[in-house]
Structure 1
């Protein structure tokens, strides 16, 4: 699977059903293996519709399944806060 294919999929948190957005980047470790999936960060009130530039980094071990249309991740309610 290529990143072009991956970034077309919605990322869904299976703990609360929340849609986190589509992947915008990947983080690689020193061995050039994917270590995290980056999705847009939450918009702030002052940033109105402008997502956090850093994005939300989802560690690869939290990704449960990559399907045809979605990427399922398991994140607790406090993740990224």
Structure 2
């Protein structure tokens, strides 16, 4: 599977059914020495403006939390 094919897949948490976002909006944290993916960095959904100037980093999903990559979604397992 190519990275381009992953782009529009939605990330869904198996434990609570929550939708975290799209892979296209996420960043990958990669080990520079091995080239392996360590985790996905999924930004929080925003309202289009900052409230009181506060920003959040979003959610970091370890690569080993991914349970299944399907046709239109990626199933993860996070508490």
CA RMSD of aligned residues (A): 2.2
Query: Greater helix percent: which structure?
Result: 2
Gapped runs of 5+ residues in structure 1?
A: 77-81
TM-score (norm 2): 0.76
> What corresponds to 2:71 in structure 1?
68
CA distance in structure 2 between the partners assigned to 1:53 and 1:25 by the alignment: 15
Q: Does 1:26 align with 2:28?
A: yes
The number of aligned residues is 72
Distance change >3 Å, CA 4–CA 54, structure 1 → 2: farther
CA distance in structure 2 between the partners assigned to 1:75 and 1:55 by the alignment: 14
Gapped runs of 5+ residues in structure 2?
A: none
